[in-house]
C-alpha cells in the first residue's frame, strides 16, 4: 500500500506522510488520503488526497477526505492543512468544496544555467573572502559529525521560514535523517560559508532531481551575518558550479511572502515555473 500510495502522492517513500487511508473500487486501489501531525502542535495535521487519473470525478476524492476527517476528528484535531498546485483549478475547487480556505503559498523558480548572464558579477569567492570568510563546497567537510556542525545555523535560521505551526528545535539526529541522509541530497552541489574559526554561518543545500537538474532545498544566512550579500554570493556560486558541471536547470522554491529571496532569484534570471497554494480548515 505504501508503494502504491506514494506513486499517487508524487513523493519518495522516505518523505511520504506516515499514516494513510486507501479507497478501493472493485478491489483495486483508486485513491487515498494521507496525514501527518505538524511538529509542535498536536491539534494541527498536514493532509493530502490523491486519486488515480482514471478514477477522478467519481467521488473517490470526497470519499477519501470524509474518511480522513472522521479519523482526525476522533483524534481531537483542530486544524487541517493541505497543499494544492497553483495550476490545478480542479484541486483548488475540491479544497474549497471541503471547506478549506487559502492561507499561503510558494513559488517555484527555474533557471536555465547555461543562459545565465554572469557579466558584472565578480567572483563570489572573492566577495566572501574580502569579509574574512570562506566559501566552500559542503562535501569538503568530514561527513562524520556534519549534522552537529550545521545544527546551530539550522536552529537559528529555521524559525525564520514561514510555517503555520510553532518551530521545534532540531536534534543533530533529526537533521541528519531529514536533511542529509536522503539519497537525493547532493553535498557535492551544496555550499557553505564559514568563519576563520570554521563556524558555518551560511548554507545552500541542494538536492539532485536528475543528472542535469538541481533543486535548492534550503538557503539561509545566520542573522548576525545578514545584509552582506552572502545569500547572493551562495546563489551565484551555485550557478557557476552548475555551468562547470553541465547541470542544465536549477530550481528554487520560495514562500511567496519572502520578497528578499524572490528578488534575488529574479535578479539572477530565475523565472517562475509553478505555484503551490496552502489551504487550511478549522474543525468545529
In order of their start, the domains of the chain are 2-77 (3.40.630.30), 109-272 (3.40.630.30)
Residue 147 near residue 178, CB atoms below 8 Å: no
What's the CA gap between 189 and 187, in Å, rounded?
Answer: 5
Average pLDDT, the chain: 88
pLDDT digits (tens, 9 = 90+) for 1-34: 333 333 333 443 334 455 777 888 888 888 888 8
Contact between residue 193 and residue 202 where contact means Cβ atoms under 8 Å apart: yes
**Is the model's pLDDT at 188 over the cut of 70?**
yes
Q: Where are the alpha helices (DSSP H) in 49-145?
A: 60-74, 89-97, 124-129
Q: The pTM is what?
A: 0.83
Query: What is the predicted pLDDT for the residue at 18?
Result: 58
Q: What is the pLDDT of residues 23-81, one digit of tens each?
A: 888 888 888 888 887 766 778 888 888 788 888 888 888 888 888 898 888 888 889 98
Dmax over CA atoms of the chain, in Å, equals: 67
Amino acid at each position: 500500500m505504501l508503494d502504491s500510495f506514494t506513486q499517487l502522492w508524487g513523493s519518495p517513500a522516505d518523505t511520504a506522510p506516515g499514516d494513510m487511508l486507501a479507497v478501493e473500487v472493485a478491489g483495486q486501489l483508486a485513491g487515498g488520503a494521507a496525514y501527518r501531525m505538524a511538529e509542535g502542535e498536536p491539534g494541527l495535521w498536514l493532509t493530502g488526497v490523491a486519486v488515480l487519473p482514471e478514477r477522478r470525478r467519481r467521488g473517490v476524492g470526497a470519499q477519501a477526505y470524509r474518511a480522513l476527517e472522521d479519523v482526525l476528528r476522533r483524534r481531537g484535531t483542530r486544524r487541517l492543512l493541505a497543499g494544492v498546485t497553483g495550476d490545478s483549478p480542479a484541486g483548488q475547487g475540491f479544497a474549497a468544496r471541503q471547506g478549506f480556505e487559502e492561507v499561503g503559498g510558494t513559488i517555484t523558480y527555474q533557471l536555465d544555467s547555461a543562459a545565465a548572464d554572469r557579466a558584472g558579477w565578480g567572483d563570489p569567492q572573492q566577495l566572501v573572502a574580502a569579509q574574512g570568510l570562506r566559501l566552500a563546497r559542503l562535501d569538503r567537510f568530514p561527513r562524520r559529525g556534519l549534522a552537529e556542525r550545521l545544527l546551530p545555523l539550522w536552529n537559528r535560521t529555521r524559525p525564520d521560514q514561514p510555517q503555520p505551526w510553532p518551530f521545534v528545535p532540531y536534534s543533530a539526529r533529526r537533521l541528519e535523517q531529514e536533511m542529509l541522509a536522503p539519497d537525493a541530497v547532493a553535498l557535492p552541489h551544496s555550499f557553505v560559508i564559514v568563519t576563520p574559526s570554521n563556524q558555518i554561518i551560511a548554507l545552500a543545500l541542494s538536492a539532485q532531481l536528475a543528472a542535469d537538474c538541481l533543486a535548492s532545498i534550503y538557503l539561509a544566512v545566520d542573522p548576525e551575518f545578514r545584509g552582506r550579500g552572502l545569500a547572493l554570493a551562495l546563489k551565484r556560486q551555485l550557478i557557476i558550479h552548475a555551468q562547470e558541471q553541465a547541470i542544465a536547470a536549477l530550481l528554487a522554491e520560495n514562500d511567496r511572502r519572502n520578497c528578499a529571496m524572490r528578488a534575488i532569484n529574479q535578479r539572477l534570471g530565475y523565472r517562475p515555473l509553478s505555484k503551490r497554494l496552502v489551504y487550511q480548515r478549522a474543525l468545529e
